[in-house]
């Protein structure tokens, strides 16, 4: 169970100013995201039959071809069963984590950092790193939505 999340580093770097007229022909080909667990250690917090793990992470968004980069680094505090904590720490020495814990950590990083990234991207003039849902006008002859409006959600 995730009980803490803190960003330690936010880096937003535009390598090419796409708003500059001479760079108008530069197009973003791809946007790649990468989520990594950097480190894991025991945190000195005990709650009943649980122990805390302090997990370092990074979340990177690369706009290719080398247009911009947005990077987040931070820490997550996760509670795990006391009898599992030692196994998890030992497994981490081989860079292995239980699938359920890895999934919980990665999803937390993805959701929290993606939301923050949208704000950062807007501030530095980058498009969102994933397609946002949009409303579309519904043409005649297409099935109408339940509320009989002529717009539909295309997300």
Paired with 71 in beta bridges are 11, 60
Tokens found for residue 130: 């994933």
Query: Is 120 in contact with 141 (CB distance < 8 Å)?
Result: no
Mean pLDDT (whole number) for 145-155: 51
Please give the pLDDT value at position 153.
45
Looking at per-residue confidence, does 138 or 116 come out higher? 116
Please give the pLDDT value at position 23.
64
Measured distance CA(113)–CA(68) in Å, rounded: 17
pLDDT at 150 over 60: no
- Domain-by-domain residue ranges, the chain? 2-154
pLDDT at 104 over 70: yes
What phi and psi values does residue 28 have, to the nearest 5 degrees? -75, 120
Tokens found for residue 92: 């981490």
pTM above 0.85, yes or no: no
Counts of helices then strands in the chain (DSSP H, E): 2, 6
């Amino acid at each position: 169970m995730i009980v803490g999340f803190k960003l330690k580093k936010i880096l937003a770097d535009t390598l090419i100013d796409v708003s500059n007229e001479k760079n108008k022909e530069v197009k973003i080909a791809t946007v790649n995201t990468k989520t990594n667990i950097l480190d894991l250690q025991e945190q000195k917090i005990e709650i009943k039959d649980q122990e805390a793990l302090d997990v370092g992470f990074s979340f990177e968004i690369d706009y290719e071809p080398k247009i911009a980069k947005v990077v987040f680094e931070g820490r997550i505090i996760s509670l795990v069963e006391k009898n599992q904590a030692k196994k998890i720490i030992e497994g981490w020495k081989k860079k292995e984590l239980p699938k359920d814990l890895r999934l919980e950590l990665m999803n937390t990083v993805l959701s929290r950092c993606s939301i923050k990234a949208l704000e950062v991207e807007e501030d530095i003039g980058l498009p969102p790193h994933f397609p946002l849902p949009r409303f579309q006008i519904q043409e005649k002859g297409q099935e109408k939505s339940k509320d009989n409006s002529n717009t539909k959600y295309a997300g």
